[in-house]
């Protein structure tokens, strides 16, 4: 009996998005990173082209974190007073493909740093590492709109990935991205339609679809991961099937989610039956990461060096 | 030049305005800010803008809409009279009634919007209650049957009626009435299922006093039409917001209230609304309550439960069992409705807990149940209902849209009544052009106006595709209490405050349209058909007498299909109720329709939330569902 060929062909490849700009391109990065371009579901190399493997960004803050557990602190506490040194450690020691600078220090409920300080942090990171940069706001719409103009200007021409726009707040960042040649993260609350709607709103005011990375919100393992998984996968299938507003690379912001759940944080002495937390925490993050890779994520933002190493091994094993 | 100007004074206010000679009195009244009723907007065909000339003269065009006696008393039609010199006119009470809802029949007569149904739906004229004038042969020794049998015998001479019944009270009075009236009486007959009841026997000939009322008991709005059963004419109409609203905007909340506190309060409130409407209608038209012998009510299942005092609690709980969907005719007095004490209350049959008699009436009125081609009826109300089908099958579902399109829950929203902005255009420069019902100063915005505003704001670029107002254009978009709003008409030009549309209003309207479109879409998907398979789209709702198809499509409320197929049919609930009132055959057909409908429950559809979210965008998240709108926006962007 002949086995029928069940290979699936998709009509619409995912957009390629390049982050970072070299000297020739008007920036100062040593190399650029391109994601997307796939015309098949993740890792199905026998079905189609997947020119760019998923990449991992390590998270750096513009302020020393107060709530990071010891398991993370032990790797970063020596450098986390200085975003530049922190970024360098991530790239040099832990193999980060990109650095994700989160402007947590600007949080109005926290240190409430101003736009000058934020821009200084951006500059510092750009000077200390040559890897491409993601810049994530603190999450307060008003504050992000206030600090991003200076940050975007400080990184003009570097083709950073800025985040994030939402349905309620997209105009400032879109304008900045257009002016300073950056790329943009479009965030939506685990909803296949709203994800599209944000993209439509942004493209309606002139952003090219090729400048967008979708962030459909992520959850940690055990915290609604299957829900996010199905949204990501459905979105990717929609994009491959021809929906231009879903034909974009996907980002997963994982470290932030994983390192707030008790399964990753709790110490062994608190919950002995859960075992060694120095293994459990990184594993929790690594497994969360692999799930999102399977769902279609192209960029993962992570925290724990061991989890990063495991995830990289996993990617390599699948891309062969 | 001075001599070309004349003074017009409106009594009783004494409001005076100077206008150029040659201007119509209607125009003068608008400029003076004096409210004069007008439905046709000055075309001289509705006859509503009656004024009395007290002093001075006007040049009038001849009209057949005024009686000779009226003309002698100085009556003129404001729109047909030109100012030729200083003049004093009185606005009589009938021309100044405010808040009067538009009569569907008026819409039909004046704007010819509904024409279509007539060719399809014709029923034998046979009202549910009717009066027959009888001259009985006096009793003699030779013809010595009983009074009661004599009455039946005479009735049967006029009408072929097999089964009749009479109440004891009527029989008791019979010998006196017959003899005092010299055997000349008028009897009122009412259909009660398979039998006919002799409801009343009156002395002499009262045949011409034969009226009934059709009531649409809506979740948000209650509409009453007064019908002359002899001429089939709708004499007048009146509407009010349903006072049950204080117990919850949504049906479910009211049911919960009824469970906690008893359903009686809700019945009292709705009955009082109905009684108020009836008393306005009878007093305005000089009709005695006693001459109203029948009432047909239509409404969703919960509303009918409330009205009849039935326990509504199981409607909202699995397995969603109503007490009764085919309520028999009862005396209206039994529920507290004040018409003739022996008058009958008919209920149009419903279908299920969440598909009510309003849909039966809508199907009856649009004739979907008897045509070959596939039709869809979209009834846009607080509980939107959608029916797809033809003479072979019909499937329906309901969508909880909320009351936004009825003008409730929208800051400047109002019912479709006098002074409501019913159509509107916004230019890219932010200029607003609008028309009000009645042509007077605007008081608010009704459903059709809200659809226009949403579509026009989007078209002109004042809102983005998520419906968010864009700030800082031309002073029209402004911030008020931390929310953006669009100034539609400034207070200086209205009958009160600024008329605005706020960001929360827009969100309410978006939710309402998304609920309806999602339901339409799911029903179509579930039936495995395409929009293009549908040959006729009937849009129903109490919008007033106008609905822009183009704007409804731009908004994404109705599918983007060939405009020719789309038809706005107005309030089909009340129309169907009136058809039933005037034709027993139509009333019987309601039962056949109710039995044939299949109810599709959206709750069982897994992708409902997805459909809803994707419809909560202008016009839709999937632009290819609305190719003509996408095309239009592209053209405007210069792509």
Q: Is A200 on the interface with B (CB under 8 A)?
A: yes
B225 and B320, same domain (yes or no) = yes
Record: contact A200-B610, CB cut-off 8 A = no
Rounded to a whole number of angstroms, the distance between the first and last alpha carbons of chain B is 52
Kindly state whether residue B100 falls inside one of the protein's structural domains.
no
Element (H, E) at B566: strand B566-570
Q: Specify the CATH number for the domain of residue B296.
A: 3.30.420.480
Domains of chain B: total: 5
Task: Tell me whether residue A313 is exposed, middle or buried, using C-beta atoms within 10 angstroms of its C-beta: 0 to 12, 13 to 18, 19 or more.
Answer: exposed
Torsion-angle region of B466 (φ positive above 0: left; ψ -120 to 50: alpha; else: beta) = alpha
Distances (CA, A) of B249 to B224, B255, B279, B323: 20, 11, 26, 22
Kindly state whether residue B108 falls inside one of the protein's structural domains.
no
B246 and B149, same domain (yes or no) = no
Compute the distance between CA of residue B186 and CA of residue B411 in angstroms, rounded to an integer.
52
Q: Which among B457, B459, B486, B458 is positioned nearest to B471, based on CA atoms?
A: B486
Rounded to a whole number of angstroms, the distance between the first and last alpha carbons of chain A is 31
The residue behind tokens 């790239």 is A91
State residue B543's pLDDT score. Answer: 73
Distances (CA, A) of A12 to A40, B135, B318: 9, 85, 45
The answer to whether the beta carbons of residues B479 and B471 sit under 8 Å apart is: yes
B472 neighbourhood in chain A, CB within 8 Å: none
* Token pair in block for residue B194: 């398979």
Kindly state whether residue B475 falls inside one of the protein's structural domains.
yes
Compute the distance between CA of residue B409 and CA of residue B512 in angstroms, rounded to an integer.
11
Compute the distance between CA of residue B183 and CA of residue B556 in angstroms, rounded to an integer.
65
Record: contact A191-B613, CB cut-off 8 A = yes
B246 and B294, same domain (yes or no) = yes
Q: The domain containing residue B161 runs over which residues?
A: 129-203
CA torsion B144→B149→B154→B160, rounded to 10°? -140
The answer to whether the beta carbons of residues B344 and B330 sit under 8 Å apart is: yes
Q: Mean pLDDT, consecutive 10-residue segments, chain B of 639 residues?
A: 77 81 83 66 70 87 78 85 89 59 38 38 85 95 95 94 93 95 96 94 94 93 91 87 85 90 91 94 92 95 95 90 94 94 96 90 91 92 90 91 85 86 85 86 92 92 90 77 89 88 94 94 92 91 80 93 88 90 93 92 83 92 87 65
B445 and B520, same domain (yes or no) = no
Distances (CA, A) of B9 to A231, B4, B19, B419: 69, 16, 11, 22
The answer to whether the beta carbons of residues A99 and A87 sit under 8 Å apart is: yes
B431 and B487, same domain (yes or no) = yes
Q: Is the peptide bond before B542 cis (omega within 30 degrees of 0)?
A: no
Cβ pairs A/B, distance under 8 A: 31
Q: Is the peptide bond before B12 cis (omega within 30 degrees of 0)?
A: yes
Compute the distance between CA of residue A108 and CA of residue A114 in angstroms, rounded to an integer.
10
B521 and B390, same domain (yes or no) = yes
Kindly state whether residue B505 falls inside one of the protein's structural domains.
no
Kindly provide the ipTM of the predicted complex, given to two decimals.
Answer: 0.78
Compute the distance between CA of residue B25 and CA of residue B71 in angstroms, rounded to an integer.
16
With CA atoms as reference, the chain A residue closest to B630 would be A204
Q: Which of A192, A197, A243 sits opposite B465 (nearest CB)?
A: A197
The beta-carbon contacts of A19-22 under 8 Å, at least 24 apart in sequence, are A19/A98, A19/A132, A19/A133, A19/A134, A19/A159, A19/A160, A19/A161, A19/A183, A20/A98, A20/A131, A20/A132, A20/A133, A20/A158, A20/A159, A20/A160, A21/A157, A21/A158, A21/A159, A21/A181
Interface test with A, best of B611, B614, B625 (most A CBs within 10 A): B614
Compute the distance between CA of residue A311 and CA of residue A302 in angstroms, rounded to an integer.
10
Q: Specify the CATH number for the domain of residue B196.
A: 3.10.20.880
A41-319 has CATH 3.20.20.20 classification: yes
Interface test with A, best of B461, B462, B468, B482 (most A CBs within 10 A): B468
Sign of the alpha-carbon torsion through B351, B355, B358, B362 = negative
Interface test with A, best of B517, B622, B636 (most A CBs within 10 A): B622
The answer to whether the beta carbons of residues B478 and B487 sit under 8 Å apart is: yes
Residue B341: Cβ within 10 Å count: 13
Beta B292-299 vs B211-217: how paired, if at all?
parallel
Record: contact B465-A196, CB cut-off 8 A = no
To the nearest whole Å, the CA of A168 is away from the closest chain B CA by 8
Worst-scoring range by mean pLDDT, A77-86, A274-283, B221-230, B401-410?
A: B401-410
Residue A38 pLDDT exceeds 80: yes
The Cα diameter of chain A in Å comes to 70
Kindly state whether residue B103 falls inside one of the protein's structural domains.
no
Kindly state whether residue B309 falls inside one of the protein's structural domains.
yes
B390 and B530, same domain (yes or no) = yes
Worst-scoring range by mean pLDDT, A100-104, A244-248, B314-318?
A: B314-318
B231 and B199, same domain (yes or no) = no
Last residue of a domain, one of B305, B328, B347: B347
Record: contact B614-A193, CB cut-off 8 A = yes
Beta B536-540 vs B444-445: how paired, if at all?
unpaired
Compute the distance between CA of residue B579 and CA of residue B361 in angstroms, rounded to an integer.
9
Kindly state whether residue B37 falls inside one of the protein's structural domains.
yes
**Domain segments of chain A: what residues?**
41-319
A141 neighbourhood in chain B, CB within 8 Å: none
Last residue of a domain, one of B49, B72, B95: B95
B617 neighbourhood in chain A, CB within 8 Å: 193, 197, 200
Three-class SS state of B9: strand
B48 and B188, same domain (yes or no) = no
B427 and B559, same domain (yes or no) = no
User: From edge to edge, which strands make up the β-sheet containing B420-426?
Assistant: B432-436, B420-426, B444-445
Q: Is A191 on the interface with B (CB under 8 A)?
A: yes
Kindly state whether residue B144 falls inside one of the protein's structural domains.
yes
Three-class SS state of B187: strand
Record: contact B621-A167, CB cut-off 8 A = no
Q: Specify the CATH number for the domain of residue B389.
A: 3.30.420
Record: contact A193-B613, CB cut-off 8 A = yes
Worst-scoring range by mean pLDDT, A28-32, A138-142, A179-183, A316-320?
A: A316-320
B553 and B573, same domain (yes or no) = yes
Q: Is A193 on the interface with B (CB under 8 A)?
A: yes
Interface test with B, best of A193, A235, A241 (most B CBs within 10 A): A193
Distances (CA, A) of A143 to A114, A164, B62, B609: 9, 12, 70, 32
Three-class SS state of B385: strand
Compute the distance between CA of residue A85 and CA of residue A128 in angstroms, rounded to an integer.
7
The answer to whether the beta carbons of residues B426 and B456 sit under 8 Å apart is: yes
The answer to whether the beta carbons of residues B302 and B312 sit under 8 Å apart is: yes
Last residue of a domain, one of B203, B230, B255: B203
Three-class SS state of B82: strand
B495 and B561, same domain (yes or no) = no
């Amino acid at each position: 009996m002949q086995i029928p060929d069940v290979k699936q062909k998709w009509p619409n490849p995912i957009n390629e998005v390049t982050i970072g700009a070299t000297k020739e391109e008007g920036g100062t990065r040593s190399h650029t990173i391109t994601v997307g371009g796939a015309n098949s579901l993740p890792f199905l190399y026998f079905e189609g082209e997947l020119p760019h493997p998923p990449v991992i960004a390590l998270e750096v803050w513009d302020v020393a974190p107060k709530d990071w557990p010891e398991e993370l602190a032990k790797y970063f506490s020596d450098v986390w007073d200085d975003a530049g040194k922190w970024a360098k450690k991530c790239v040099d020691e832990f193999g980060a493909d990109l650095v994700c600078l989160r402007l947590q220090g600007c949080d109005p409920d926290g240190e409430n740093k101003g736009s000058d300080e934020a821009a200084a942090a951006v500059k510092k990171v750009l000077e200390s590492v040559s890897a491409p940069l993601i810049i994530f706001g603190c999450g307060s719409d008003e504050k992000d709109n206030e600090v991003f103009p200076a940050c975007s200007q400080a990184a003009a021409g570097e083709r950073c990935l800025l985040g994030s726009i939402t349905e309620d707040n997209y105009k400032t960042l879109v304008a900045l991205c257009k002016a300073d040649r950056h790329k943009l993260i479009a965030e939506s609350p685990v909803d296949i339609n709203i994800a599209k709607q944000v993209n439509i709103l942004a493209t309606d005011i002139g952003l090219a679809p090729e400048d967008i990375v979708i962030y459909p919100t992520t959850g940690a393992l055990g915290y609604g991961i299957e829900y996010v998984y199905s949204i990501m996968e459905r979105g990717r299938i929609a994009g491959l099937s021809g929906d231009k507003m879903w034909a974009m690379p996907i980002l997963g912001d994982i470290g932030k989610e994983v390192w707030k759940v008790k399964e990753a944080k709790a110490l062994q002495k608190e919950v002995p039956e859960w075992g060694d937390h120095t293994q459990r925490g990184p594993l929790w993050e690594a497994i969360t990461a692999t799930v999102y890779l399977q769902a279609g994520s192209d960029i993962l933002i992570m925290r724990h060096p061991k989890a990063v190493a495991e995830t990289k091994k996993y990617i390599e094993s699948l891309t062969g | 030049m001075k001599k070309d100007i004349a003074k017009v004074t409106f009594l009783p206010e004494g409001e005076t305005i100077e206008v150029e000679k040659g201007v119509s009195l209607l125009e003068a009244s608008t400029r003076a800010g004096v409210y004069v009723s007008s439905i046709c907007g000055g075309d001289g065909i509705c006859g509503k803008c009656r004024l009395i000339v007290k002093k001075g003269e006007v040049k009038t065009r001849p009209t057949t809409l005024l009686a000779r006696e009226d003309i002698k008393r100085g009556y003129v039609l404001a729109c047909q009279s030109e100012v030729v010199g200083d003049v004093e006119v009185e606005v009589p009470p009938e021309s100044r009634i405010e808040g009067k809802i538009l009569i569907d029949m008026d819409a039909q007569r004046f704007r010819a919007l509904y024409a279509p149904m007539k060719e399809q739906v014709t029923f034998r004229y046979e009202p549910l209650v009717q009066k027959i004038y009888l001259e009985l042969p006096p009793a003699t020794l030779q013809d010595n049957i009983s009074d009661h049998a004599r009455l039946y015998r005479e009735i049967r001479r006029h009408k072929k009626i097999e089964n009749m019944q009479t109440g004891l009270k009527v029989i008791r009075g019979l010998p006196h009435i017959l003899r005092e009236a010299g055997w000349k009486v008028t009897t009122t007959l009412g259909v009660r299922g398979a039998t006919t009841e002799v409801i009343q026997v009156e002395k002499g000939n009262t045949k011409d006093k034969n009226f009934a009322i059709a009531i649409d008991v809506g979740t948000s709005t209650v509409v009453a039409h007064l019908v002359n059963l002899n001429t089939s004419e709708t004499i007048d109409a009146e509407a009010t917001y349903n006072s049950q609203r204080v117990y919850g905007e949504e049906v479910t909340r009211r049911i919960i209230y009824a469970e906690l506190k008893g359903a009686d309060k809700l019945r009292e409130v709705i009955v009082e609304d109905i009684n108020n409407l009836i008393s306005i209608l009878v007093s305005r038209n000089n009709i005695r309550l006693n001459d109203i012998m029948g009432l047909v009510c239509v409404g969703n299942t919960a509303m009918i439960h409330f009205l009849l005092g039935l326990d509504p609690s199981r409607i909202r709980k699995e397995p969603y069992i109503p007490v009764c969907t085919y309520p028999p005719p009862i005396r209206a007095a039994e529920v507290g409705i004040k018409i003739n004490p022996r008058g009958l209350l008919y209920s149009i049959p419903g279908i299920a807990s969440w598909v009510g008699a309003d849909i039966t009436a809508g199907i009856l009125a649009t004739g979907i149940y008897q045509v070959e081609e596939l039709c869809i009826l979209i009834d846009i109300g607080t509980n939107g209902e959608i029916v797809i089908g033809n003479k072979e099958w019909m499937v329906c579902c309901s969508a909880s849209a909320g009351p936004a399109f009825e003008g409730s829950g929208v800051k400047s929203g109002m019912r479709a009544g006098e002074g409501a902005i019913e159509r509107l255009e916004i230019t890219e420069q932010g200029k607003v052009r609008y028309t009000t019902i009645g042509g007077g100063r605007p008081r608010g915005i009704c459903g059709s106006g809200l659809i226009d505003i949403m579509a026009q704001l989007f078209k002109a670029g004042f809102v983005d595709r998520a419906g968010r107002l864009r700030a800082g254009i031309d002073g029209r978009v402004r911030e008020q209490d931390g929310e953006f709003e669009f100034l539609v008409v400034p207070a200086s030009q209205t009958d009160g405050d600024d008329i605005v549309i706020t960001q929360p209003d827009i969100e309410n309207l978006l939710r309402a349209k998304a609920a309806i479109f999602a339901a339409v879409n799911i029903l179509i998907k579930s039936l495995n058909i395409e929009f293009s398979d549908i040959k006729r789209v009937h849009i129903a709702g109490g919008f007033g007498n106008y609905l822009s198809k183009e704007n409804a499509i731009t908004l994404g409320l109705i599918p983007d299909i060939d405009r020719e197929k789309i038809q706005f049919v107005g309030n089909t609930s009340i129309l169907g109720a009136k058809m039933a009132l005037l034709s027993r055959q139509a009333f019987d057909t309601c039962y056949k329709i109710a039995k044939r409908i299949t109810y599709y429950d959206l709750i069982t559809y897994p992708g409902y939330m997805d459909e809803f979210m994707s419809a909560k965008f202008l016009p839709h998240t999937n632009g290819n569902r609305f190719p003509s709108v996408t095309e239009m926006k592209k053209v405007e962007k210069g792509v």
